Structure 1
Amino acid sequence: MFDNTPVLGRSESAELATNKVLRNTYAMLSLTMIPTVIGAFIGMSLDFSIIALHPFIAFGVFMAVTIGMQTAITANRNSGLGIVLLLAYTFLLGVMLGPLLQHALHLRNGGQLVGLAAAGTGIIFLTLAGIASSTKRDFSFLGKFLVIGVVVVFLAIIANLFLQIPALSLTISAVFILISSGFILYQVNQIVRGGETNYVMATLSLFISIYNIFSNLLSILMSFGGND
């Protein structure tokens, strides 16, 4: 007869490690909301008129900062510096919510729309994270489709900088919400199945998805339910 004790030990150890990554990810994700909110309050007090005057330059700077920060976080994902960079990045993204929040809060029902967007984002995240962590289904097949979707959406964003078509903007926002929702399913499922063992990288991915869902959901709500 064979002794299965070592095998069971490895299985239990892997499960404990997975649960630890998931707990640390959720804890870090909660922590990132603090610099994000602080950044958003600061962003609401800033003058972003230069973005409207130079949208291409603003988009280029935003992408350069985003790629640079994500690269730096990835390079330092196993050290304390990675956590510091992650919190700094969430602060910057909070600041970049400034123009959207300024526009929203100038509407008579702007506060309600922001609240609805925040609540909707929370419901979407909790629902999808619950599904991804409880189902036995492997969502790793979503990875390639989601990456292709992101590339297509960014090409559409660049095109709309020239075209300025409101309907296309709404379509982009709706697709971005779907893609970001897919990333939540994918990322949480990866953690649960042991495919992602670094909570800094997992937090970064989930934060970006939550950020995109909130900002795009708020844009859609303002388009359809905003009262001047």
Structure 2
Amino acid sequence: MSISMQDYTLAGSQEVRHRVLRNTYWLLALSMIPTVLGAVIGVMFNLPVPRGLLGFGLFLALSWGFIWGIEKTKHSAMGVVVLLGFTFFMGIWLTPLLTRTLGFSNGGTLIMMAFGGTASVFAVLASIATVTKRDFSMMGKWLFAGVVVLILATLANYFLQMPALWLAISVIGIAIFSAYILYDVQRIVNGGETNYISATLSLYLNVYMIFQYVLSLLGLGGERE
């Protein structure tokens, strides 16, 4: 039985895709360690994370700085170091939300529910993106536009302070970043993303934002001690 060069090329391409996906999942799991560490340190020492409009602007500036650094170093081991530094920073930035949630008598339960719910969403959607024949590539532009609208709505709500608007932002945010999991995982599966550090960054941001929005929603039903 003869095997054509095209078959060799196809097999090699599939192996590369599987390796990128495997490395991405391993690095994503690893990235949770500095995130948890940053969150624990932030809560234990009550680190003064800026809130409000100033805090949001600072968060965007620092996040984009880290993302720029990750993209510049993604082809070397330093990219992993910068990525893990970014996830540590993101853990610290959860301090206000976690502190507020832990102020409820069932705060610990709410955090575990948010973590479990986020993990379940990721597992289900990543599995769908891996096996489905449906093409999610057309969602990219719409999802990016949705993120822009989400940022603008969040900025507006710092002035309006409308609980109903924040509720809508959280629900829409969960939907957008859940859809991004489908989009990003399928890009890896189809060979559209071949760098596992960049792939991990994308998936990490999706998971982080979903967790944050889910925990915010669950906090609406928190029980005061």
TM-score clears 0.5 = yes
Q: Distance in 2 between matches of 1:76 and 1:221?
A: 37
CA apart distance, 1:74 = 0.7
Aligned length: 223
> Aligned AA for 1:120?
G
Q: Distance in 2 between matches of 1:90 and 1:188?
A: 20
| Conserved? CA contact 1:46–1:98, under 8 Å | no
| Conserved? CA contact 2:49–2:93, under 8 Å | no
| Conserved? CA contact 2:74–2:198, under 8 Å | yes
Structure 2: 5+ residue stretches without partners: none
SS at match of 1:122: helix
Q: 1:175 aligns with which of 172, 182, 204?
A: 172
Q: Distance in 2 between matches of 1:162 and 1:109?
A: 30
Structure 1: 5+ residue stretches without partners: none
Q: 1:125 aligns with which of 106, 122, 127?
A: 122
Q: Distance in 1 between matches of 2:41 and 2:48?
A: 15
> Aligned AA for 1:21?
V
TM-score by length of 1: 0.95
- Work out whether 1:91 is the aligned partner of 2:127: no
Q: Distance in 2 between matches of 1:152 and 1:29?
A: 27
| Conserved? CA contact 1:36–1:94, under 8 Å | yes
- Work out whether 1:7 is the aligned partner of 2:32: no
Q: Distance in 2 between matches of 1:208 and 1:167?
A: 25
Q: 1:189 aligns with which of 186, 190, 206?
A: 186
The equivalent residue for 1:164 is 161
The equivalent residue for 1:62 is 59
The equivalent residue for 1:147 is 144
The equivalent residue for 1:102 is 99
- Work out whether 1:33 is the aligned partner of 2:32: yes
Q: Distance in 1 between matches of 2:11 and 2:48?
A: 56
The equivalent residue for 1:22 is 21
CA apart distance, 1:43 = 1.1
Tell me the percent identity: 46
